[in-house]
Structure 1
């Protein structure tokens, strides 16, 4: 990476979870192994995947009719319910169910293709080839890999914008300290330089747009 990627709290928690299980590479990702590490009963049955918590006994049932890739994706989704969503969905509001499902969808993308592993992956520049590589390495369906890469790209863009803004604010604060300026106030196409003790001490024009 050419910059310092700032992980989100979810990315950090997933990385900690995987490192606690001594899983650092994509080929180690496996529902049975993870469930065993976490003390979760894992079953396969011919109905829709679901998470079950009965008197503290946590189970995940994966749809046996699905492909291995789809089962892995469902495992990530249902694991979010096990780890973060207590209660019976039959007794909570529809709005809260939708909230939980949205969280579980996002968790699944992050869990099935962990960011700290994705950042280390050598991916082709061509999108279709990158999607195929991620799908193969992380054992997910191509459409799942494509959406994950889109989300990852958005997060990288957000990181870079935040990094540039932070650098700008640091540079501005350094400039203000050196010049004895308390405030820089935009005024049309220029900025007024203001000091609490001396008042207005000058103006600074905007840089030419062609710079």
Structure 2
């Protein structure tokens, strides 16, 4: 990949979290291990996905009725809320809630396909999305979104 992509501060922050957990390759990523390291109780139940924090108690519950790739993506989304956000979304103004959701979506892309794991991939490979799906175990939609954001930022930086 080389210098084709210039990581954002959030992208680098997420990669640093993974490096500290010794998650250096896609196959190293494990939601159970992340939850354990961050002292998060992690459940899969047939209810809508959510996260909860009260004092030192933190939990993530993922909807067990959805496919594993979406479960993984929802884990990242809820993990972001625990790491980066405060307050009960049901009690906050809509604009603030929307800002947190926007941040969680960006975080999810970066946590699903971390910057420090991208060196072995060629962004021009016509099968890059399929490779990412297989290696990172996330949806085609998320892979396509991640690639598109990376390419558009690259072209913007290069004046293209």
Q: Give the alignment of 1:61-210 within 5 angstroms.
A: 61-122=61-122, 125-126=125-126, 129-161=127-159
Q: CA deviation at 1:124?
A: 6.3
| Total equivalences in the alignment | 160
Greater helix share, 1 or 2? 2
The unaligned stretches of length 5 or more in structure 2 are none
Larger radius of gyration, structure 1 or 2?
A: 1
SS at match of 2:61: strand
CA distance in 2, matches of 1:149, 1:57: 35
Distance 1:151 1:90, change over 3 A: same
User: Which sits farther off after the overlay, 131-140 or 1-10?
Assistant: 1-10
Indicate conservation of the 8 Å contact 1:77/1:105, yes or no: yes
Distance 1:124 1:8, change over 3 A: closer
CA distance in 2, matches of 1:160, 1:119: 20
TM-score, with length taken from structure 2: 0.91
CA distance in 2, matches of 1:116, 1:122: 14
The unaligned stretches of length 5 or more in structure 1 are 163-211
Indicate conservation of the 8 Å contact 2:51/2:61, yes or no: yes
Indicate conservation of the 8 Å contact 1:52/1:58, yes or no: yes
TM-score, with length taken from structure 1: 0.70
Q: CA deviation at 1:63?
A: 0.5
Greater strand share, 1 or 2? 1
Q: CA deviation at 1:7?
A: 2.1
Q: CA deviation at 1:157?
A: 2.1
1:36 and 2:58 correspond: no
Q: What's the CA shift string for 1:52-104, capped at 9, x where partnerless?
A: 00222111000001111111100111111000111111221111111111111
Q: What's the CA shift string for 1:18-74, capped at 9, x where partnerless?
A: 110011100111111111111111011101111100222111000001111111100
Q: CA deviation at 1:123?
A: 5.9
Q: Give the alignment of 1:21-60 within 5 angstroms.
A: 21-60=21-60
Distance 1:158 1:115, change over 3 A: farther
CA distance in 2, matches of 1:2, 1:143: 24
Q: Name the Cα RMSD after superposition.
A: 1.8
Distance 1:101 1:13, change over 3 A: same
Larger RCO, structure (CA 8 Å, separation 6 or more): 2
CA distance in 2, matches of 1:11, 1:62: 24
